[in-house]
Every structure is written in C-alpha cells, then in structure tokens.
Structure 1
C-alpha cells in the first residue's frame, strides 16, 4: 500500500492483541489466524479495513498473521517487506517471520501451525479464502467466526461511502460483456461465481474506484451464458450508464438476501456446474453457494476468469499503450522537476516528490494512482515497498532516488513503472553506478529475451537474475507480475517459484533490483507485452510498453557487453523519439 493517513500507536496495537487473546481464552482457542484481506479478498486493502494491521501495525499489502494464545504474534512477510516490517512493528509484541522467495507465506505459517498444534484455532470466515481454509483444517480443529465478532473487542474504523459504479465506453475496454460470456461460459447450464473484483470489473465492463488505487468495484456476481447477475451492497450507488449494458443486471441488497436471489436464478437456469475460484472465494460465500447449488455442482477453477482477462484483446492493449505513453510523460516530467528544483536551490522532500508525482499524472489525464507512489531517497530506496514518504527527508544533490508509480486513465487499466535516478545532474558514485548498471543489465537481458511458448515464468525470471548472480547480488522478490485492471493481475508471473506459462497477449512487469539496507536501492521496471516472435515459429518475445530513458549519470558502460549496449541504444533511440530520454 501507499501512504496511509490511518495510524495506530504501538500501545494501541498491544492493547488490541491483549483484547484478542482475552477473546481467545474465553472461546477456548489456542490460536487465531488473521488474514490481510477484506471480505472480497483483495490484495490492496485500506489499513482501516485490514484486521491484520490492528494486531501488528504493519502496513504492507501482503502478509499472514498467526496469533498464539501465549507468546508473540507471528507476522509472515516476503522479501519485499523484511526491512519495512522490522521498522513498523514492536518486536516485544510481534515476531517478524522473514519468508524467502521460494517459499510461500502460507506454507511457512502452516509449518509453524503444525509445530504449535493448537487444540482449536479461530478464523474469520468472511476474510479467509476457501483455499487456505482447506489447508488450515488439515492441521488443526477450526472454529469460524462469520458475524463480525472481532468488532465487539476491537474498534475497527468505518469505511467511507462508495462512488457510483459506471459502465466504460467501448473505445476504452474492448469486447462487450456478451462476447466475453461467449468466450468464458461453456453452455447454458454452466456459470461462474465471480468473487475477484478485477474479474468482476472486466466481465461487466464497469468501474467504481471503490478502494484506494483500484479502479474496480466491490461486489460479486453469477456469470451465466447470457447474463451477469451482479450483487452489490444496498448502499452502493449506480450510475445510469450501467443500464446501457443489457447483459448485466445489478442487485442492490443486504448480503444476507443474496442467497435467496441466487436460488431464484438457479430455479430459472437449472445450472449443472458453477465454477468457483477457491483462492478468491471466502468461506462464508462458499457455505452460501453450497446451500444453493450443492457441492456436486460446484467446480473448483483456480484463477476463475483470470485466464481470459490476462490475455488482452486489441482494444484493451491499445488503451493500455496510450495510458503508458501518458504515464511515461508524467514520470519523465516528475524526474525533470526534481532535477530542476535542486538546480534552482529549492528544497524537495520525499513527500514533495510523492505529491508532485500525483500532480504530473493528473496533468496527463490520470483519474487515480494505481498504487501508492513509492518515493524513497538515499537509504530509504532499499525499503522495497517504502510506503511512508517523509516531509523531513530532503533530497540532496548526491542522493540516488527510487520512484515507483502508476496511474489509471479513462478505461481503468493500471500502469506501473519504476525508475531510479540521481536527484541532480551530478554523476553517481562508483558504488551507485555499479549496482544501477547491474540492474540495468538484468532489465535489458530479460526484456530482450526470446523463449518458447508456454515457458514457465521461473525460467524467464532467470534471464533477469543471471547478470546480478555473476556479481554476487540477488533480489528478494519476483521479476514480474501481470498487469491489467489491477496493477497486480493473475494469469502471468515471473518469479523463481512460478510455473505459470508465458502466453501471447499477456502484459507483465520486468523489475529486477538491488537493495542495500542503510545505503540505498535500485529498481528499474518496464512493462511489456508478450507477443509472437516474427521470425521464429513457436517462440515469444517482449515488446516494451514503457519508454522512459535510463539515468546516464548512473550507467557504467564498461560493465555492459556488446549486446547490452545495442539493446540500450535501441531503447534510448525510441525514448528520444518520444521525448522521454535523459541523454
């Protein structure tokens, strides 16, 4: 997550932990699982609605929490958040469990759970995925809480009113809902229960911007062969434009009334198979679906509709390309503003940079940022997802600065780009140049790679890491993720643990990095489209969607080989043509 105005003191967190343990003792629980999710199982959840935050004070987007009745709270974080978690938690209350890239957070938690062997563990049924619940129940007896019971012991903040849901004009989103249903739904007796909100936004061609940095809207749906039945809270406003989409019907109702409406639809359609995604379906909703359709009609489909919307159609790609052109200009103008401000003797803080980035995106027509901008100067650049830009950290002429940002434009597809640069026109020191150029080599090698169709993401990940390995460096995160309606989209993943196949039509990030705590960090992130190779049948390649020049003051050309110099020159030539090169 990005910069959040919602704060808790360490004392408040400690009190919340004690209240939870008191609740556990009263309920006969020896452990409690706390997820990072909201009831829609979103990755990016406002801290006000992230129950994990109330028991840890950790504000990163991804983590798992195990609360034993005795001892410290266990907070499980991946390599992106090791440094941030150490800074944010009270080590007397919370133990940070640092999970390596080749091992999932859930896997580590489950191993600890087996060692703890509680006689009974609690969990929140509306915030726990069916997939993880199935793993938890193999390890110990569970007791679910489905009626906001924790709100009786912890003062959770209220969420703001929601914006109206709007239908997106065709020029910004491609195929109509009816066409998408024809692709995804197999027959008149087949349906999808759509629980992932980016999939919901895609199939309905609607956006709501209901959560910070997300263009999607809060709701769930049943997608049949001819219509999408959408369920939103009764307080959710609907723009008149949603009526234009005759393939969608919206129901504004209390959550407890959804079951009866689903039963009406089932009585009408007689569905024989309803696909569910266990990773994006909470236990409460699974129980409801089980009552309506019966377990024999529910078919687990990992990823749900992601396999369809991770492959971009021509109209979607054209809009995304336009968005990245404007985002490129916003980032280029932001970096120029920093350098010109320092040259003029003006003070620029991290918070100034954070705010100015938003302004530059708005000047290009952005309606929202696609995640909280990461603006880390000097040593703060080593905090991979640095989320708290400071107004008292002033950029110095010899600072190296990491800027990771993205925006949403008319169609509600995310952009995402990272550049590391010198705050002034001064050359970086030798160590800055070394780590910057190594990361540049990783970006260029991966971006220029050629690979067979269906190659697992973990193979492509190696193209980015090899130049760093040769110099004794590595990074504690994946090389890339899918990009779509959400900045992190399933269906494509480039990491050491990814078996997800590379396919034509995917849009993915390429973002190697080097992070040295107390010194600084470098990340160079481009987004690329996966396309067929024009000469080699059965092979794929990347086509960059981002064209922002690299920092000349940080490149040691002696560290580049001939191929890398050629790739860099070709890339910079296109940046120069677009007016976004610093050379």
Structure 2
C-alpha cells in the first residue's frame, strides 16, 4: 500500500473526485465486498487513505473536515497511525459516524459505494437526515494509483474427516430452512459461509482460510458459485459436484436480474446493500433475514469438536515451549522476536497452516494498546521486570485457536497493583469459564460475570468478553458473542467462544487472560449448559495474588493447571516438562 502521496494530498485528490461526482462527502468503510474483518490488500482502502490498519472502522470525508472512526480496541492505535493535522478521530460507539456527519454537514449529499456498505449501516445514515448517494465507482480507487491486484489463490477441498458433514447434506438442510420461510433463494456473500456450505477453503486474505466469492442457494438445494475461474482447479470443480454450478463474479448481476418475481433472502447486516438494490431493481422481492449459514456453522458437530480439542492440544504444546523459552529470554528479546519464536514453535507441527490473526505482542505500555500491532519502527525490548502480553492464534485443518497470556518477566516480584489487576482479570475469567446457565441464555447475560471482580475495584475494559470461533475458518465468528452489546443469540451446544476479560492502563501495562470455551450440556435433559475449556496453557503464577482468591477460584486454577500438565507434559522435552511442572504446581 505504498504511495507517493502524503495524507493531505490523498484527501485533496479524493475531494476533487467527490466534487466531480456532485457529492459533499464520502463514507468509506473498512470492509470489502464481503464486509469481512480480514480483507485482501486490494481492498485496504481505509488503511491506504488514513494510515489506520485496525480491523474495524470507517472514515467520513467532507469538504472541510475528515474523521476516522473505530471502536475501543483501537483508540490508541488511531492516535498513532493517523495524521492529526488532517484527520479527526472518533470512538464509533460513543460517537456514531452518522451522528457526527449529520452535525458536521446537515442535509449533505454523502456518496457511498453500495458494494461496501450494509443496508443496516446505510439506513442509520439516512435516518440521521443525510442524503446518501450510491456511486457507480469507488472514488478512492480513482486516486489509489498503485492498488494491488485482487487475489487469485485456488479454492481447495476441505475433507470430511475435518468437516464431519458432507456438502450435499448441508445444502439440503439450509435450502429447507429457506423454503420454510417462503423464500425461493438466498444470496450468500460471506466467503466463510460459502466455505462451510461447500466444504472448501482458500488463502485469499491473511489469517482466514477462505476463497473469496459469492453464491446463490436455491430452495431446491442447487447452488451457483460466483468465483474467478482461475481460483477453481479441476479437482475443486469435481469436488463441488454437478449440483454446484460455477460462474465468474461478473455474471452475478444478470443472474440476480433473472430472479425477477421471486422472493430472495439477503442479510441486511452482513451483505452489501448492492445485492438488495439489484434485486429490487429487477422486480424481485427482497426478504430481510440473517445469513442462514451462520448458526449451523457456529454449532460445531462432533467431528469439529474433537478436531478443536486436537488443535488445542497441538497448540498447547507450542505454547508450553514458547513460555519456557520466554522465561529464559524475555530480558533480551523484543516484541517481534517473541512472535517469531512462537511462530517457530507452532510451525514444528506438520498440521500448522499459519496464524489465525496477527499476534498482539506488547511489552509494558504497548500491552495497554488493546489491539497493538508491533512494527519494526515500534518494536520494543521486552526486558526484565515488565508486564508482557501475547495474544495469538493458529490455524490447523481441524481447528482454529486464539489464546492470550500475560507474563511478568521478573526477576523482582510483580508490583502489588499489577498483581491485583491481573488477579481480578483471572477471577473474571474463571467466573465465566465455570458458569452454569439455562438453555436460551444469551451472551449479554453472561458478560457481567467476567467484569464483576474488576468492577469491585472500580476497573473495567472497553471491549467484549467473548467472540465466536470458526473451525479452520475465521477467528472472529458470529452470530454468538459475550459482551454488553451481544446480539440476542442464545448460546448452544457446539458453539466455541473466547473468554478474555482484561485491564489496560494507558502508558503503563495491559493484562488479558484468554481461553477458548466449548458450550456443552450440563444436565442430561439439556436444560442447563456449561463450558469446557479447550485452551491448554498455564497462567503466570507470578501475577496471581492468592490472598484475593476464594477457595473455589483457587481450586479451579489448581485443577486447570493439573490438566494442562497431564495433557501437555508427555509431549514436550524434559526441560520444558520440568518448567511446566513448576508453572502448574498447586498454588
């Protein structure tokens, strides 16, 4: 994304294009045509224009003002990555972009790219009184002169030994759901949904094994997959079978027009508004509804659940080796050096397929930046007597991992204020992990369990507590979550979510404790549910203030550590096993 234009020059060039388009502003979202969290280099428009590389955000460019927005995870990152002389910065929860835009330019004609914005987001701007103008081109592309080419990596089969269910069965089940709602077809725009439905994987975007494309699934279970022909080798075409037709993405507009007179389901939150607009223009009836693949994909079947356990065992072996290495080398290694070491330990497993996200490796004040991304320019020596946070994950064909550990590097004891905060974070983590809850419980009802120990000390954290996890797919997967703003989606057996409360002191340190949890039945009749902890890695005993723990919390930690030692110990070298035995000793 290199370019010779400075930030002010980029804005000036963009404003010239907007003036020619007859609009007084432009809304630029961070996502691509699939509205995904991870995007290919050719879709990193927000990063090119603003410098901000976080995974969530948007920008509004007006004639005299420009604002870039993100959520609480990226507040500090916005400050460091964007030019404050041309960009204002906003917290998109506390100051919604539509509210800021309406106040800054009431009644303005604001352009948008209908292929990059959902119907729900568009509606928020229209309700704010703005005149939203669909543009037939993206004005950023007109000034981004060295924009990369789109990815053309092949889509490859995802075998039944990993998926646990064949594609025909999935297609028929989803098609039946569509037919029951009275729809004739559904448009699928999320490559992760298509990957699950058709049992394919790819490598078009960083960290998430998807192949970019779109699909139309009809009520008779037939599918048309819209994907660049270069991405579909003969082996994959044979794998898809005769019930899955393939076509270039350019043909989709004509095929949508051919649905005139039919009822077609489109996700108003997860799909670009262009699809609904094209269908309505053709005379089809658009049926708003969530992507019907999301819930079945989130409910991992028995094969996927066992795969997740295998993936976490494999990952736990790498984590034990890394934490042992870190104990001896933290004082002399840097944030990037630690990432490289962890990557190396994970790569020892033949099944390793890369990271599930770019690792967050933050020492001292860098750990307080919730989604910190170290660069060669910001790389910091971890050093002695430091709070070090490492949040990382891996992709394996049988599962996706995500784990955070916070370490005190010593040799001095951790300061009381650090140990107190770290223990409260761990207490919140335990409260959620040990929860027993009735069927039908949503994530918003569980979120406070993880925050209560922090609240008692007047502390909190500005991010959700848990997100869904895919099966060799996205590390952040809907529709389930655990947060103060969770959607009303009940947690169900087979769902995998993270448990990651934290505490962050800007300029000081950051603490987070994260494991992945599998939802299962607690009672034989299924009326109550509970969590199984999948992640296998010790918590740093140097950061545990045992006096704050209840007997039940202390017992939970001891039992968890005993399990880690029993499952990981037999698979690591003697030196690592000896270190692990000490790290997992009873409190």
Deviations 1:248-299 (A, max 9, x none): 525242x3322334567x59xxx9432211122213333333355x332x21
SS in 2 for 1:376: strand
- 2:427 pairs with 1:441: yes
SS at match of 2:333: coil
* Partner-residue secondary structure (3-state), 1:360: helix
Report how many aligned residue pairs link the two structures: 560
Partner of 1:78: 71
Report the Cα offset of residue 33 of structure 1: 0.5
The alpha-carbon deviation at position 161 of structure 1 amounts to 4.1
Shift of 1:232: 0.4
Tell me, yes or no, if the aligned pair for 1:506 and 1:530 is still in contact at 8 Å: yes
2:344 to 339, 359, 366: 359
Contact 1:40 1:195 in 2 (8 A): yes
Among residues 274, 290, 296, which one is paired with 1:302 in the alignment?
290
**CA contact 1:206–1:242 (8 Å) conserved in 2:** no
1:46 Cα deviation (Å)? Answer: 4.3
Deviations 1:375-408 (A, max 9, x none): 1112111110011244752121212211111111
Instruction: Decide whether the 8 Å contact of 1:165 with 1:242 is kept in 2.
Output: no
**2:437–2:529 Cα contact (<8 Å) kept:** yes
Residues 548 and 575 in structure 1, CA contact (< 8 A), matched pair in contact too: yes
Give the alignment partner of residue 120 of structure 2, picking from 116, 131, 141.
131
Contact 1:14/1:55 (8 A) holds in 2: no
Partner of 2:224: 229
| Whole-angstrom CA distance in 1 between matches of 2:8 and 2:339 | 31
Q: CA deviation at 1:360?
A: 1.7
Question: Which residues of structure 1 form unaligned runs of 5+?
Answer: 1-5
Q: Is the 8 A contact 2:432 2:499 kept in 1?
A: yes
Q: Deviations over 1:427-462 (max 9, x none)?
A: 422222111111111100111011111122111000
1:341-397 deviations in whole A, cap 9, x for unaligned?
A: 35xx8x311111122222222112311211111111121111100112447521212
Q: TM-score, normalised by structure 1?
A: 0.91
SS in 2 for 1:500: coil
Residue 17 of structure 2 corresponds to: 23
Q: 2: distance between equivalents of 1:82 and 1:454?
A: 34
Give, in whole Å, the separation in 2 of the partners of 1:516 and 1:47. Answer: 33
Partner of 2:168: 178
Correspondence for 2:574: none
Give the drift of 1:123. Answer: 0.7
Kindly report the root-mean-square deviation, in angstroms, between the aligned alpha carbons of the 2 structures: 2.3
In structure 2, the residue corresponding to 1:110 is in which secondary structure?
helix
Give the structure 2 partner of residue 397 of structure 1. Answer: 384
Structure 1 316/425 Cα, relative in aligned 2: closer, same or farther at 3 Å?
Answer: farther
Equivalent in 236, 239, 243 of residue 244 of structure 1? 239
- The residue that corresponds to 1:527 in the other structure is 516
Shift of 1:217: 1.0
Query: 3-state DSSP class of the match of 2:231?
Result: coil
Aligned: 1:164 with 2:158:
no
SS of 1:312 mapped into structure 2: coil
Aligned to 2:316: 328
Alignment partners' CA distance in 2, 1:249 and 1:558: 61
Q: 1:313 aligns with which of 301, 325, 339?
A: 301
Contact persistence 1:178–1:227 (CA under 8 A):
no
Residues 421 and 166 (structure 1 numbering): CA distance in 2 closer, same or farther, change over 3 Å?
Answer: same
For 2:358, the equivalent position in structure 1 comes to 372
- Aligned residue for 2:81? 88
2 CA distance for matches of 1:222 and 1:575?
45
Alignment of 1:133-282 (within 5 A): 133-138=122-127, 139-159=129-149, 161-186=151-176, 190-224=184-218, 225-238=220-233, 240-246=235-241, 249-253=244-248, 255-261=249-255, 272-282=262-272
Q: Is residue 328 of structure 2 the alignment partner of residue 340 of structure 1? A: yes
2:393 alignment partner in structure 1: 406
Residues 176-230 of structure 1: CA deviation (Å, up to 9, x unaligned): 1111123222266732211111101100100011101111110001122332221
Q: Is the 8 A contact 2:536 2:568 kept in 1?
A: no
Partner of 1:56: 50
In structure 2, stretches of 5+ residues that fail to align are 570-579
Offset of residue 242 of structure 1: 4.1
